[in-house]
Amino acid sequence: MIKHTERSRVDNQINKHLKSLIEHLDYTQEEVADKIGINKIHLNKVLNGKADVTMDLSKKLSSIPEFNLTPQEILFPPLEIECIGEMFPMENVTLFKAERPKIMCKFPISPGYICLRSYLMPRIQRDANPATADYDILIFDGKYIEKNELEKHFDNRFCLVLTEAENLICGMTLKNPTEENRATVMPIGSTAPIRNIKIKACAIVKIATNYSYHGIF
């Protein structure tokens, strides 16, 4: 149902971002490697996506004054995150069937994270004036939905839930105390809970932010 962003694809964005940063310095790759005390061949592998950007490497690179970045900013640069669909009050999640838009995210995200647009207005109101429609972005780990797994500790959390009927619902999720694969879900924007439904997968919402105000959020 959901093909999440592959780990290698997200990691490659980080490597490309780092390569771009170094290209804007007045140093060669060999000079950068010498400055931070690593093998120039290893640095070249990192910049070409053949080795990982690690926290240890980020700390060393952040010691170069011209970077003017923290290790976290090097390791977690703004990255594209795939928006898989949208949701409206009183409706299930609708997946984008054709092109899925990409949104720049400045929060630390992990490989495989994807997002949804969540509108607080009815669909008909959004469709009447889409350019000014206000919406939130909800970010979660897509692997749980893709692999039909229940994320641990989802009880009493905002989650994206895949039901046995293959519907996607997003809302406050209360685990059935006696049956692991059943839950009650209060969809966002609704006052009517969907009680004791059978669920195949569940992913906790990791980040929620208003995209209309932040742009790059």
Q: For residues 45-62, give the mean pLDDT.
A: 92
Beta strands in the chain (DSSP E): 79-87, 94-95, 102-105, 113-119, 135-141, 157-163, 168-175, 182-187, 194-210
pLDDT at residue 110, as a whole number? 73
Is pLDDT above 70 for 2?
Answer: no
Higher pLDDT residue, 109 or 135?
Answer: 135
pLDDT at residue 90, as a whole number? 85
pLDDT at residue 1, as a whole number? 55
pLDDT at residue 75, as a whole number? 82
Statement: 7-75 belongs to CATH 1.10.260.40: yes
pLDDT at residue 217, as a whole number? 43
Question: What's the CATH number for 79-214?
Answer: 2.10.109
Is pLDDT above 60 for 215?
Answer: no
Is pLDDT above 90 for 187?
Answer: yes
Is pLDDT above 90 for 189?
Answer: no
pLDDT at residue 80, as a whole number? 80
Q: For residues 204-216, give the mean pLDDT.
A: 73
C-alpha closest to that of 92 among 213, 209, 1, 216: 1
Euclidean distance between CA atoms 207 and 124, whole angstroms: 27
Is residue 120 within 8 A of residue 133, CB to CB? The reply is no
Per-residue pLDDT of 8-34, as tens digits, reads: 444 577 788 888 888 888 889 999 999
Q: For residues 147-162, give the mean pLDDT.
A: 95
pTM recorded for the entire structure: 0.69
Q: For residues 85-112, give the mean pLDDT.
A: 85
pLDDT at residue 45, as a whole number? 92
Q: Taking the domains of the chain in order of start, what are their residue ranges?
A: 7-75, 79-214
C-alpha closest to that of 169 among 137, 147, 194: 194
